[in-house]
Structure 1
Amino acid sequence: MTVNKLTLSVLLGAGLLAQSSFALAAAYDWNNTAPVKVPTAANNNGKTVYFDVSHGGVEGNADWVIDGAFSDFADALVQEGYTVKEYRGVDLDNDGRIRFYDDRTNGSNTNEAIITYDAIKDSDVFVLAETNRPFTTAEQAALEQYIASGKGIFFIADHYDADRNLNTWDATEVFNGYNRSDLSKYNMGGAYGDWRNPKSANAGWLVENFGIRFRFNGVDYKQGVSGVEPSSKTEGITQGVDPILMAAGATLAIVDPQKAKGLVYFSETDTPVKWRHAKDQGLYFGGKAEGPYAAIAKSGAGKAAFIGDSSPIEDATPKYRRQDNGNTKKTYPGWTDPGHASVLAVNIINWLATPESYQYFDGQNGHHSGFVTPTPMATQEMSDPNNGQPWGTPASGFNPWDTDTYKNNSFNAPYGDGQTNPDPDPDPTPTPGNAISVADALAAAQNTPVVVVGKVTAAINGIYGLELSDLNNPATHIYVKLESNQRADFNPQLNPAILNQNIIVTGKRNSYMGEPGIRYVTELQIAPSYMSVEQALATAQGESIELTGRVKSGLNSIYALILEDLNNASFTINIKLESSQRAQFSPELNPDILNATLVIKGVRDSYMSQPGVRQVSSITIASDNGSNDPDQGSDLSVSDVLAMNNGQPVVVSGTITAAINNKYALELTDPNNSGNKLYIKLESSQRDAFSPLLNPELIGKRLRVEGIKNDYMSHPGVRSVSNLTLLN
């Protein structure tokens, strides 16, 4: 491999300055220069903002870096005259790299992803976004010293259990200074001390220093939290601020009203709901009693600000790959959403960056005191529903405490794409998001990594292989060579039940038995499918299910519907509709929904003394079976849309040809010109029914899409999709 001589810039103390030269690119050199954004000389206000990534902010789908999903925020600050820098830690051994080691499990190494006062003292504001690793007592002391010197910290959290790297910590816990669990393992001692839940709203690092704590709730209110306090009571920060969306977030609880006060609350007319993945009640009290969504604190010479969700100030331009699996990240386009917090975020930074001599919100000279949250620690917040475990299982081989296990092009990974990698098999590992048809696989070059969706139609070479047929053309097939540990489950001779199943095969395009084939298979999985109504009826009560069926009629006025089996209409089940679902899915309110095919997620239960589904978390229209088919003659072709400018509303019809970006999008192609393609970004409510990854039988189907012409994944596409209709 030819490697150019690299000159790496790394700041001593703040991870940015000090020059070192290396003749060869070694591990961790690929992205060693931390970004800096500088205003024009005429616009420079002389102040600096650091965005921290030393303790997280880039875990899982999070990408809170100034040249990634916080780039719009950073750019807005540059327009205000700020210099904006990414803070990574301290280069303690002066080798041009800042390395992270877990202080508890790798004690022989030196952890450089740390916060010290000397490293951050030259900034005016320090932004901590979704911090996913606890602070040492020394780091807490450094932040206290920073505040005492008259500086400001912006704490950006998220809902409880936003444990992005599955290390059992989320930002609400890290900022509060204690885990939600009281298990003995969280009395860590050493550099950390006791991080067990104190079960008191008055205890913990955050409340002791700033008079406020983050709640362990999980709330949704995308319509916009509208209880914006008047600017005369908020140091002017809420001037020009509109209601702000909450896309699964937390609130805070104020304990000391002279230290902290709220900026934005749920108003009496707001109707927030429990986030559907919340681990407990999710929403404890509602209204102002739930505590502020955004708040500020004045503690001595310094200042702090807080918000319970990153969504309204992030953008849709992540830079890094996921650390655990190398997949592309997805972030919420909050900065441009109607419920954005861009005005609030900039106002907060301006306030934090301005030193002021008053010490507290004591009501003097217009510095109004805050409103004490009536129950600052709910009973639910005193115990851990996860019992000290992460919310999910880490990917195989991934260790959140060991950066050597991070995938290429993820933050802190040893290597970027195209650099030396000690992996003996350097070919990129394909993911199900790149799933292609059998016909596409046949056209792929030899030794190309592929993920193929098809139907098992025969055993090949006895127990050693199988035939995979194209979902849309059974005569088109490819041979798959099975590894020894795969034959029992996937060879039709050993397991006849696998015949006619749709499966996803991950391997390399090659020949097998003198025919086009797939070899070196690393993974086989049965393609996801939905439960029928008949199967749902046989499911035990209390089970979470996903089922599909046809709307037969309404039930109990506007409150429910009857779903019938697609293959046998004698099987029916009652679906209880949530209040937010009735306008669209109640046949009494919307007769057009009759005969539509729906995909429903919920809990098997009884309703109206009959078998039913309750706690319905999502309903998606899979097909209207022609009952609602509008005039196709007015639809645009893919070619028509490709010729249009971004930002224009479109109604386009084409053929579904592939999954894009895992389950998050699909490829739509002109039937008469397969080279003309659009990427269709699916909204969260649409993926279960329309993602080809989840529904491989959709490949080859015709689809009508209503949305806005816009690029997706750097490819011409349609976003903000309001409606999808299958045409065959």
Structure 2
Amino acid sequence: MPGSRRSRRQVTTALAGFGLLLASAALQFGAGAAPAHAATTTHRVLFDNAHAETAGNADWIISTSQPDPLGENPSPSAETDWTGALSSWGVALQKTGAYSLKTLPSGSSLSYGGSSSTDLSNFDTLVLPEPNTLFTSAEKTAIMNFVKNGGGLFMISDHTGSDRNNDGADSVKILNDLMSNNSVDSTDPFGFSIDALNIASGYPAAINDSTDPVLHGSFGTVTKSLFANGTTATLKPSDNSAVKGLVYRTGYSGNTGAFFVTSAFGSGRVAFWGDSSPIDDGTGQAGNTLYDGWNDPGATNAALALNATAWLAGSGTTTGGGGGGGGGTCTAAQLLGNSGFESGNTVWSASSGVITNDSGEPARTGSYKAWLDGYGSAHTDTLAQTVTIPAGCTTAALSFYLHVDTAETTTTKAYDTLKVQVLDSSGSVLATPATYSNLDAGSGYTRRSLDLSGYAGRTVTVSFTGTEGSTLQTSFVVDDTALDVS
């Protein structure tokens, strides 16, 4: 029958012995084939290690290989594949296939608009993980202009008195100096200042805001974070209306006691975290006393760090107001990664075998497509991708080309279905904009378009679920997807 996967399985079985011979030969010769399709890198993140981020017991690096962590391990699968107390953070981003990570090595300087490969003009986000030396005037100018022109800045402080290299400046002083003593804008540009506090312990809680992309992003839902000798920030929305507290010290709210803060400046975005303990994964270079805050069971620190990185890199939206220029705006764009599936099984979350170049069903363009069901037996396949639709967008159109091939003969009964759904961060169904079935079978592909503009300002998952009955096959073949916003 046309499109049935049954014939493909028979061929696979018939060739199994030959496949084993090929595998044996590859092992004998030590051959290692690279994946046929590599993920498309979309977000470039620079981690700073030029300001004593490894002083004392700190080990705030993603890898000892600098600037490129891939020099230590080009395909990390576990956080121990890279060495550093921030390796869990780095490896988690690297494994998505959507990030290019680099480190500014010790002895270097931050610059913007220069020719160095680590110049900020080559990156979308700068991470400052508890710096322990003051930035020079030129560096502060570079950082501020980088953010003003659209970059993301992630500032991570520690408690007052955490001067790990005993040079008279701790991270509280250093980051406050960046904000209040620079040549670009020293008039409280981000709308907050860091408090000179040492809060010994606690689990500060996230605010209740289901639309915030940092608290409810593609890496999970944030409920609490961790104090292990940290500090907070005081917000000044009169100076910058985009400033927003997301996580607060117990008993605090509003403009005081903010442990995690987001803001905007010019065309860029800013995030602040009041403790380095939550990003510490407990492993690193020998000789350091480290604590695993990343996986602390009482907190959701990994989700907070990763969602914030995605938001800063341009995967999310500012919901706190217009002041800094990052919120409420929309740039026309296509949001889906690997939209034509030609990068293979990357970016999308899919059932085994769904993203394929199998010749049993032709792609509309290229070689790859998403082929759901087609087994002729009870079966369910899924295909999904999480996206953030910017708050300022009034148009958000999900489009895709669909080919339905079936062996069913009925003209009235929908035995096999493909549901297109929108899910929230917990996986709950928000809506089912369309359902297709064996009754939609036909030759060739048909373009489908669905309106998702109602989800502007939210992080949602676009999901395709194919459900097949127990007898005759129906194949749902999807290709050339897009989520166009404007």
Return the TM-score normalized by structure 1: 0.33
Q: Which has the higher contact order (CA 8 A, sep 6+)?
A: 2
Return the TM-score normalized by structure 2: 0.49
